[in-house]
Chains A and B, each alone.
Chain A
Amino acid sequence: MTATSVEERRSGLALLRSYWPAWLDVFGWVGRISETRYWAWLMLLPGFLLISVVIFYPVISGVWLSLHEYNLLRPARGQPFVGLQQFIDLLEDERFWLSLRNTAYFGVFNVLNPFTLGLVIALALKRAVRGAGLVRTLILMPWFMPSVVAGHMWALLLDSRLGVINDILVKLGLLESYWPWFARTETAMPAILLVGLWRGFPFFALLLLAGLQSISQEMYEAAAVDGANALSRFRHITIPLLLPVIVVAITLRTIAVVNSPDLMIILTGGGPGLATHVLSFYAFQTAYAAFDFGYAAALSVVMLGILIFFTLIYLRVAGVNRD
């Protein structure tokens, strides 16, 4: 990579890239600063500045709120300090435990299912058979669709009157009559997970494919020469080198899934009964239907704690394997 190869010169971008060093030397200070010990901090600075503008106030006010009673409908009461009372209330709140269980169920499967499918597809795409480029673009489409359209279209696909999926299943003889997927306790969450799988697998496929493409082909060739079979190449080359990307993808997806009540809002409203009532939905309803911002803050802080816990575990997994 040090010397520009002939092949590289062929592409215009590579040509442009060959001019960059000269350009950088004109403003040589960037290069010089990059050699100082301040460089790491300077690189982090813009990101931290941007994020700190929006993060400190909301998070601090959220944590503060969780220790105070604050119901917008009772302005006369003000915002008295109640210590950990709202967290103690949570422990006795049946709906909290139920939502926690639903969140675990939803979270685990809405991360693992798309991850597995995405990985399989990324591996297949990596083999670059004919038409792979087309498939690579096509499988990303589900992710492109705005969630309001995607949500409602899935509601239509699985509708108990107009749903084409029901129609196909009936025609195939797999169902006797149209099934109300979202109206039954036993199928509401699986149906949502199906939608989540459809929405989520492109994210993993794209990320993992990009990760796979960054792995040098030479390593596989060397391993093949050494007589390693496909499975052991997968275990000893693909997985370890892909691990950082896997960890990142799973972390980001977990956070998104645990925090977003979108699918529930469009498809089930947390029902039927409380079958799809997850924590993010509970917090949203507590804040903007019941206006109990103190309790919603306590719920949010618990969710935050759970997510930090998992992120730290993921980080450890990634760290242990690399060092």
Chain B
Amino acid sequence: MQLSFRGTQRLYRFLTAAVLVFAGIFALFPLVWTGLTSLKQNTDVITAEMQYLPHNPTLENYFELWSRKSFVTLFGNSVVITFMTVSLCLLVGTLAAYAFSRYRFTGRNAALVGFLLIRMFPMVLMLIPLFIIMRNLQLLNTRVGLALAYTTFLLPIATWMLKGFFDAIPPDLEDAARIDGATRAGAIVRVVLPLAAPGVAATAVLTAIAAWNEFLFALMFTTNEASQTWPVGLHLLVGEEFNLPWGLLSAGGMISIAPIIVFFVLAQKSLVRGLMQGAVKG
């Protein structure tokens, strides 16, 4: 049976809406539950009878978490480290990704895999050597040290992702710009980056999330409480031989997604919308 054009369109619209509604529910349900839990006291979480909506809603968990002075420090550390990591990854990653995407040279594949090697090797065996390197460079307990450590581990991801996006841009466009007199560097800035803007934004978001949530390095490479990060603080809410403070942990989860939402809303507006529209239509 042949559907009419309009019928097909309607079917697609329905399918699209259905997929998005499902995705929204699946993505959000655990978060809604986290939000609800963050408004409960522990005695309202650990109950024989399930409490869907908190019977005694309270913001106590948020206040308590924030009143621990270390948490403000941890939050600040994480913001700074994440910012440094993303900047470094994008800058260095763009250069390398462009080279990988546009040039064919001996050992290119080997170098690409080599870039990823650092992520392929299990973390278990990296910890001690990395610790020694960090100690010798006097980078333990510093934000720069953690940002550098994160960068080395996220750079391969950033590079690979950016390379993927650069690959998707037809080289013809660049060639056209160069015929018009642009240098190769000029063509990258004027043609490639604008076209790859959604990809660059996506890379920035993923790098930011990874840096923001990193836990193991932050724990291993710090030895005083002032240099720890937010995920370490959250992790320390969960002991093995103590009641788990569900409300506090949930409040921590809600607080920790807040800045990324802000970042993403900003990135969405300025990067994705602005740049992309110009680029795609150009």
* A interface residue numbers (CB < 8 A to B): 1-2, 5, 7-8, 11-14, 17, 20-21, 24, 30-35, 39-41, 43-44, 46-48, 50-51, 53-55, 57-59, 61-62, 65, 117, 120-121, 123-125, 127, 129, 131-133, 135-150, 152-154, 156-157, 162, 164, 167, 198, 201-203, 205-207, 209-211, 213-217, 230, 241-242, 244-245, 247-249, 251-252, 255-256, 259-260, 280, 283-284, 287-288, 293, 296-297, 299-300, 303-304, 307-308, 311-312, 315, 319, 322
CB-defined contacts of A247 to chain B, threshold 8 Å: 164
Are A251 and B116 touching (Cβ within 8 A)?
yes
Query: Residues of A contacting B191 with CB < 8 Å?
Result: 1
Q: A58-B125, A167-B50 are in contact. Are A149 and B183 (CB under 8 A)?
A: no
Contact status A13-B275, CB under 8 Å: yes
Q: Judge whether A58 and B130 touch: CB under 8 Å.
A: yes
B209 in complex: contacting residue of A144, A198, A303, CB < 8 Å: A144
Chain B residues 257 to 274 lying within 8 A of chain A, measured CB to CB, are 257, 260-261, 264-265, 268, 270, 274
Q: How far is the CA of A30 from the CA of B122 in the complex (A)?
A: 38
In contact, B116 and A311 (Cβ under 8 angstroms): yes
**3 tightest Cβ-Cβ pairs between the two chains A and B:** A31-B183, A149-B253, A248-B164
Kindly state the separation between the CA atoms of A131 and B199 in the bound complex, as whole angstroms. 22
B34 is an interface residue with CB less than 8 A from chain A: yes
The answer to whether B186 touches A2, judged by C-beta atoms less than 8 angstroms apart, is: no
B84 located at the interface, meaning its Cβ lies under 8 Å from any Cβ of chain A in the complex: no
Report chain B residues within 8 Å CB of A8: 278, 282
Chain B residue numbers with a CB within 8 Å of A201 are: 23, 27
B75 contacts partner chain A, Cβ-Cβ < 8 Å: no
Distance (whole angstroms) from the CB of A311 to the closest CB of chain B: 5
The verdict on B244 contacting chain A, using a C-beta distance below 8 Å, is: yes
Contact indicator A137/B264 (Cβ below 8 Å): yes
**Interface presence of B276 (CB below 8 A):** yes
The residue from B19, B98, B198, B264 contacting A124, defined by CB atoms under 8 A apart: B19
**Does B215 interact with chain A (Cβ within 8 Å)?**
yes
- Is A146 a contact partner of B213 (Cβ separation < 8 A)? yes
Q: Are A311 and B113 in contact (CB under 8 A)?
A: yes
Cβ contact within 8 Å between A259 and B123: yes
B29 smallest CB distance to A (angstroms): 8
Contact across chains for B257 and A145 when beta carbons are under 8 A apart = yes
> Are A203's CB and B206's CB within 8 A?
yes
Q: In the docked arrangement, what's the CA distance between A78 and B128, Å? A: 17
- Chain A contact residues: helix, strand, loop or mixed: helix
Residue ranges of B at the interface with A (Cβ–Cβ < 8 Å): 8, 12-13, 15-17, 19-20, 23-24, 26-28, 30-31, 33-34, 37, 45-47, 50, 52, 91-93, 95-96, 98-100, 102-103, 105, 109, 111-113, 115-126, 129-130, 132-133, 148-149, 151-152, 155-157, 159-161, 163-165, 167-169, 173, 176-177, 180, 182-186, 188-191, 194-196, 198-199, 201-202, 205-206, 209, 212-213, 215, 230-231, 234-235, 238, 244, 246, 249-250, 252-253, 256-257, 260-261, 264-265, 268, 270, 274-282
Residue of A nearest to B94 (CB): A43
Residues on B with beta carbons closer than 8 Å to the beta carbon of A297: 125
Closest residue of chain B to A287 (Cβ to Cβ) is B124
Query: From B19, which residue of chain A is reached at the shortest CB distance?
Result: A124
Inter-chain contact A47/B93, CB cutoff 8 Å: yes
Tell me the bound Cα distance from A154 to B133 in angstroms.
36
B80 CB → nearest A CB, Å: 17
Besides the contacts A146-B231, A259-B119, A319-B109, what 12 more A-B pairs have beta carbons closer than 8 Å? A11-B275, A51-B152, A61-B125, A125-B20, A141-B257, A145-B213, A148-B215, A206-B206, A210-B199, A214-B198, A247-B164, A248-B161
The 30 listed contacts between A and B (C-beta, < 8 Å) are A1-B282, A7-B282, A13-B274, A20-B189, A32-B183, A39-B184, A44-B111, A50-B92, A53-B133, A54-B152, A55-B117, A58-B129, A61-B125, A62-B121, A129-B16, A131-B20, A145-B257, A146-B215, A148-B234, A148-B238, A149-B252, A152-B244, A153-B30, A153-B249, A164-B52, A198-B27, A251-B160, A296-B124, A300-B124, A303-B120
Complex CA distance for A210 and B275, rounded to whole angstroms: 13
Residues of B within 8 A of A230 (CB): 8, 12
Majority secondary structure of chain B interface residues (helix, strand, loop or mixed): helix
Verify A13–B120 contact, CB threshold 8 A.
no
Taken together as a complex, chains A and B put the C-alpha atoms of A57 and B249 apart, in Å, by 38
A207 touches B161 (CB 8 A): yes
- Are B115 and A51 in touch, CB under 8 angstroms? yes
- With both beta carbons as reference points, the residue of chain B lying nearest to A310 in the complex is identified as B120
> Contacts of B256 on A, CB cut-off 8 Å?
144-146, 149
Q: Which residue of A lies closest to B232 (CB)?
A: A148
Interchain CA distance A241-B250 in the complex, whole Å: 41
A248 with B163, Cβ < 8 A, contacts A50-B152, A129-B16, A198-B26 known: yes
Establish whether residues B205 and A206, one from each chain, have CB atoms under 8 Å apart when the complex forms. Answer: yes
| Residues of the A chain whose Cβ atoms lie less than 8 Å from the Cβ of B123 | 259-260
Distance A300 CA – B127 CA, assembled complex (angstroms):
13
Residue numbers in A under 8 Å from B212 (CB-CB) = 144, 146
